[in-house]
């Protein structure tokens, strides 16, 4: 309605943020007239700035009025309504004052450019608060608060250059919110797929799937996604579906008053903030403190009177709604049942202590959580976590309560699944078959399965074998050479013969086909080693191939001396015949394999069986290479026979005869 001057003063240092905001407010009070509205990201920053302002020499007729979501009605009225005549007012507010409320008499605005918003993470199933920079749209909305009644001033704690980097508009809340309540309301309308409706901004499919899964855990939706009678009752209650389920079930357990108290306390975001929170996470001790405070026994960590009144009032309202006999006294003797109630509200946050690390817990959804500091609860086997952050790797536990295994079985029976598990145990190197009762990813009970499915046993055993590799089987040198002979024929023969690929990689990927049928009644790697691998491997060849292999890829070759020399198929792509040169005198042609397709690679050895020449063309060697080799060997081995014409000389294994 009126012109507004805008000043950019630069961003405060993070470590001195509250102090610089307080200093900016104090300077404005001295230089300009009118009431101030200060936008801060959250209640914590509001309290820090408020404390700092009390240390400044303010005019005694200055009213400091915080404004955030869970203040009492009286405190909110003080921030919203005009101050008494002759007084100036400083309203320290979150973004609740951006659009939701009209605050009378504001002429000056100080904007830190920050806001705190909840972001739901479908991966963890949890929301956590993020501090973000406001959009240009929000900054303009905040600036406009200074010009409602007369010309005003807006001081922005960032630079004009930074202003141009802000997002044009604030992202729609539906993109980052917990959609459980929305999913329940849609189910109540009979809508199972949100795409049936037209949306300004469609809800993310991942968040909606997460919400429906939670509603299924809570018994609000059946397997077909239709709302149940219990879900209808939940939808009638003005609270988050988690808490609605908890109070309905708590009533049937005879814990109605405690459940309503717990639901009311959990609805208060900052109810347990204080010194005790930093010491440990046990929610039961918070209720000890809460109930003591209700009887006038307060300590530094106790909630204030206004918070207690809101909890009490909300609890009594819900007790009346649920037709629970209302009580003005907190049921202190039932506090140990808080873990049971939390399990009803947070079935996805039931957690089991991991044996490898005392302070680390695994949740039913498979994610990991731990205590930030040593905590008395870290020795409990089972917990239910009421509050934790949404860290992507290991979340930090802020509030939790223990629950016994017996109570889990009794009160969470509808979450239990009985499964038969046949798995490979890497530490024992054997297949373990067990029957389990599980809550999500957590095992409550486990017993040996006497007659596991043979196919599952084979699958688990082969998984263990894949982890260890084929080398743990009972290979012999002869069998490895046989494998290499098949691989040689696979490489060099045409598709008409179709010799199989028996490389280790292929065998490892096809274990089910060639080895699986031979694993009946076997459970461990030690038993696997007793299998004669020749049988399952030979079965991969056709009868014709089994007959032809000795002809196409013989294990030995007879040389002119009559010696049977082994052929090495494992050294490389070409098979090797390593033989003493003297045993080949008179041999003119290089031996051929695979029906004459591949000449052998001959390693010619000295009398001491050391290589002196390598060739695939024996005839050429006799013509061009033998003379030089002869000179060298004749000097080193004078007692041996070194003819001038090796093609006419008799082959020999030993030294010259006398």
| Distance, CA of 380 to CA of 473 (rounded, Å) | 44
pLDDT band (50, 70, 90) for residue 359:
confident
pLDDT at 231: 96
Residue 26 clears pLDDT 60, i.e. is over it: yes
Structure confidence at residue 5 as a pLDDT band (50, 70, 90): very high
Report pLDDT for 493. 83
Beta strands in 407-562 (DSSP E): 416-425, 430-439, 442-448, 556-558
Q: What is the pLDDT of residues 331-346, one digit of tens each?
A: 777 899 999 999 999 9
Residue 14 lies in a domain: yes
Phi, psi values for residue 430, rounded to 5° = -155, 165
Bigger pLDDT: 493 vs 65: 65
Over residues 529-562, the pLDDT tens digits come to 889 999 999 999 999 999 999 999 999 999 999 9
CB contact set of 500 (below 8 Å; sequence gap of 6+) = 486, 490, 540, 541
Three-state DSSP class for residue 604: strand
> Does residue 111 fall inside a structural domain?
yes
pLDDT tens column, 69-83: 767 777 888 888 888
Cα gap 35→103, rounded to integer Å: 10
- Residue 275 reports pLDDT greater than 50: no
pLDDT at position 266: 86
Q: Is 146 inside any structural domain?
A: yes
Residue, of 98 and 321, whose pLDDT is higher = 321
Q: What are the C-alpha distances in Å from 274 to residues 53, 75, 388?
A: 21, 20, 17
How many other CB atoms are there within 10 angstroms of residue 350's CB atom? 26
Is pLDDT at 503 greater than 60 in this prediction? yes
- Residue matched to tokens 């041999």: 587
Residue for token pair 């509603």? 215
Together in a domain, 16 and 164: yes
pLDDT (tens digit per residue) in 142-183? 999 998 888 999 999 999 999 999 999 988 888 888 899 999
Q: Do residues 456 and 422 lie in contact, with contact meaning Cβ atoms separated by under 8 Å?
A: yes
Q: Does residue 407 contact residue 416 with C-beta atoms inside 8 Å? A: no
Looking at the structure, do residues 548 and 630 belong to the same domain, yes or no?
A: no
Q: Is the pLDDT score of 279 beyond 90?
A: no
Q: Which of 366, 406, 365, 361 lies closest to 383 in space, CA to CA?
A: 361
Q: Which residue has the tokens 């509030």?
A: 399
Answer with the one of 171, 201, 216 that is the final residue of a domain: 171
Considering 498, 521, 552, which residue would you say is the last residue of a domain? Answer: 552
**Residue keyed to tokens 């199933």:** 125
Give residue-wise pLDDT tens across range 424-442.
988 889 999 998 888 888 9
Three-class SS of residue 510? coil
State the average pLDDT over residues 15-29: 91
Whether 615 is covered by a domain: the verdict is yes
Q: For the segment 231-274, what is each residue's pLDDT rounded down to a tens digit?
A: 999 999 989 999 999 999 999 999 999 999 999 888 875 566 55
Q: Please, are residues 556 and 481 in contact by the beta-carbon 8 Å criterion? A: no
d(CA 528, CA 513): 16
Say if residues 186 and 195 touch (Cβ distance below 8 Å): no
Residues 479 and 622 in one domain: no
* Tokens standing for residue 472: 């743990």
CA torsion, points 88, 93, 95, 99, in degrees to nearest 10?
-40
* DSSP letters for 232-286: HHHHHSSS-HHHHHHHHHHHHTT-HHHHHHHHHHHHSTTTT-SHHHHH--BHHHH
Q: At what angle do helices 229-236 and 241-252 cross, to 10 degrees?
A: 110
Statement to judge: residues 22 and 166 lie in one domain = yes
The answer to whether position 139 is within a domain reads yes
pLDDT band at residue 10 using 50, 70 and 90 as cut-offs: confident
Q: What is the pLDDT of residue 36?
A: 94
pLDDT (tens digit per residue) in 363-414: 998 889 998 888 889 889 999 998 887 676 788 888 899 999 999 999 988 8
pLDDT of res. 95: 86
Is residue 216 in some structural domain? no
Measured distance CA(297)–CA(23) in Å, rounded: 38
State residue 472 phi and psi, 5-degree precision. Answer: -80, -5
pLDDT at 159: 92
pLDDT greater at residue 272 or residue 15? 15
Q: Is residue 28 part of a domain?
A: yes
Residue at 8 is within a domain: yes
State how far the Cα of 534 lies from the Cα of 554, in Å rounded to an integer.
Answer: 17
pLDDT over 60 (residue 301): no
pTM of the model: 0.64
pLDDT on residue 128:
66
In angstroms, the CA 528 to CA 64 distance is 79
User: What whole-number distance in Å separates Cα of residue 155 and Cα of residue 206?
Assistant: 40
3-state secondary structure string across 169-226: CCCCHHHCCCCHHHHHHHHHHCCCCHHHCCCCCCCCHHHHHHHHHHHHHCCCECCCCC
Q: At what angle do helices 241-252 and 180-189 cross, to 10 degrees?
A: 80
Cross-strand partners of 109: 37, 154
Q: How much of the chain exceeds pLDDT 70, in percent?
A: 92
User: Helices H, strands E: what count in the chain?
Assistant: 25, 23
Closest CA to 536 of 528, 526, 525: 528
Element (H, E) at 118: strand 114-121
> 200 or 329, which is more confident?
200
Q: Average pLDDT over the chain, rounded to whole?
A: 88
The answer on 156 and 110 residing in a single domain is yes
Same domain, 129 and 98: yes
Average pLDDT over residues 93-109: 83
What confidence score (pLDDT) does residue 299 get?
59
Name the nearest CA neighbour of 262 among 249, 275, 280, 276. Answer: 249
Shared-domain flag, residues 530 and 572: no
Q: 568 and 504 share a domain?
A: no
CB contact at 8 A, 152 and 36: no
Of 552, 570, 600, the residue at which a domain comes to its end is 552
CB 112 within 8 A of CB 41: yes
Beta carbons of 460 and 422 less than 8 angstroms apart? yes
| Residue 362 phi, psi (nearest 5) | -110, 135
Residue 496 has pLDDT above 70, yes or no: no
* Residue linked to tokens 């630079």: 159
DSSP letter at 158?
Answer: S
pLDDT tens for 445-462 read 888 888 898 999 999 999
pLDDT recorded at residue 296: 62
pLDDT score recorded for residue 402? 96
- Assess contact for 289 and 298: CB atoms under 8 A: no
Main-chain dihedrals φ then ψ at residue 579, nearest 5 degrees: -145, 150
pLDDT in tens, 617-634: 999 999 999 999 999 898
pLDDT of 417 above 90: no
Same domain, yes or no, for 64 and 129?
yes
Residue 41's domain is classified under what CATH number? 3.40.50.300
Residue 356 has what pLDDT?
Answer: 67
Same domain, 490 and 564: no
- At 398 the pLDDT is 86
Instruction: State residue 555's pLDDT score.
Output: 95
* Structural domain count, the chain: 3
Q: Are residues 625 and 613 in the same domain?
A: yes
Q: Which domain holds residue 590?
A: 556-636
Residue 261 in tokens? 């108290």
Q: Concatenated DSSP letters for 467-496?
A: HH-GGGS---HHHHHHHHHHHHHHHHS-TT
List the one residue out of 9, 66, 14, 16 whose CA is nearest residue 37. Answer: 66
Q: In terms of domains, do 488 and 610 share one?
A: no
């Amino acid at each position: 309605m009126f012109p507004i001057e805008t000043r950019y003063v630069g961003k405060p240092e993070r470590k001195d943020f509250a102090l610089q905001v307080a200093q900016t407010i104090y300077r404005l009070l001295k230089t300009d007239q009118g009431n101030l509205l200060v936008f801060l990201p959250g209640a914590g920053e509001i309290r820090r700035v408020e404390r700092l302002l009390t240390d400044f020499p303010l005019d005694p007729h200055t009213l400091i009025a915080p404004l955030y979501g869970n203040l009492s009605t009286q405190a909110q009225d003080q921030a919203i309504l005009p101050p008494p005549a002759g007084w100036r007012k400083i309203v320290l507010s979150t973004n609740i004052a951006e659009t939701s409320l009209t605050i009378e008499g504001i002429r000056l605005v100080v904007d830190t450019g920050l806001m705190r918003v909840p972001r739901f993470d479908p991966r963890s199933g949890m929301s956590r608060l993020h501090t973000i920079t406001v959009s240009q749209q929000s900054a303009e909305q905040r600036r406009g608060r200074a010009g409602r009644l007369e010309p005003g001033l807006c001081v922005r704690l960032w630079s004009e250059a930074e202003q141009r980097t802000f997002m044009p508009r604030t992202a729609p809340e539906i993109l980052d919110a917990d959609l459980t309540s929305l999913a329940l309301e849609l189910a109540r309308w009979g809508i199972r797929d949100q795409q049936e409706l037209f949306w300004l901004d469609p809800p993310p499919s991942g968040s909606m799937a997460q919400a429906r899964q939670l509603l299924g855990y809570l018994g609000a939706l059946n397997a077909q996604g239709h709302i149940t009678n219990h879900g209808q009752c939940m939808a009638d209650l003005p609270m988050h579906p988690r808490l609605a389920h908890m109070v309905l079930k708590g009533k049937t357990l005879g814990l109605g008053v405690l459940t309503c108290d717990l639901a009311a306390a959990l609805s208060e975001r900052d109810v347990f903030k204080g010194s005790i929170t930093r010491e440990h996470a046990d929610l039961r001790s918070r209720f000890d403190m809460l109930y003591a405070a209700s009887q006038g026994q307060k300590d530094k960590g106790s909630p204030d009177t206004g918070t207690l009144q809101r909890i009490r009032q909300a609890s009594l309202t819900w007790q009346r709604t649920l037709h629970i006999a209302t009580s003005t006294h907190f049921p202190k003797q039932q506090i140990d049942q808080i873990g049971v109630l939390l399990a009803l509200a947070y079935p996805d946050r039931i957690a089991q202590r991991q044996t490898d690390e005392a302070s680390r817990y695994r949740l039913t959804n498979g994610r990991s959580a731990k205590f930030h500091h040593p905590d008395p609860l870290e020795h409990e086997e089972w917990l239910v976590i009421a509050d934790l952050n949404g860290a992507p790797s290991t979340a930090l536990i802020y509030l939790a309560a223990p629950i016994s295994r017996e109570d889990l079985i009794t009160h969470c029976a509808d979450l239990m699944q009985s499964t038969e598990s046949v798995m490979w145990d890497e530490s024992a190197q054997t297949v373990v078959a067990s029957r389990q009762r599980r809550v999500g990813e957590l095992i409550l009970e486990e017993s040996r399965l006497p007659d596991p499915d043979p196919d599952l046993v084979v699958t688990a055993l082969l998984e263990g074998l894949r982890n260890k590799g084929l080398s743990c089987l009972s290979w012999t040198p002869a069998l490895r050479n046989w494998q290499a002979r098949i691989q040689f024929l696979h490489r060099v023969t045409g598709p008409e013969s179709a010799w199989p690929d028996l490389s280790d990689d292929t065998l490892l990927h096809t274990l089910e086909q060639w080895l699986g049928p031979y694993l009946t009644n076997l459970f461990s790697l030690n038993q696997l080693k007793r299998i004669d691998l020749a049988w399952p491997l030979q079965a991969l060849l056709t009868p014709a191939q089994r007959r032809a292999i000795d002809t196409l890829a013989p294990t030995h070759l007879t040389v002119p001396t009559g010696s049977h020399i082994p052929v090495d198929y494992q050294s490389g792509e070409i098979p090797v015949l390593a033989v003493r040169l003297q045993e080949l005198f008179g041999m003119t042609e290089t031996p051929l394999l695979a029906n004459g397709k591949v000449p052998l690679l001959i390693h010619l050895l000295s009398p001491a069986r050391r290589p002196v020449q390598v060739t695939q063309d024996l005839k050429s060697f006799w013509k061009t290479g033998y003379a030089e080799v002869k000179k060298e060997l004749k000097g080193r081995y004078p007692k041996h026979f070194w003819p001038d014409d090796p093609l006419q000389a008799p082959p020999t294994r030993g030294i010259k005869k006398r």
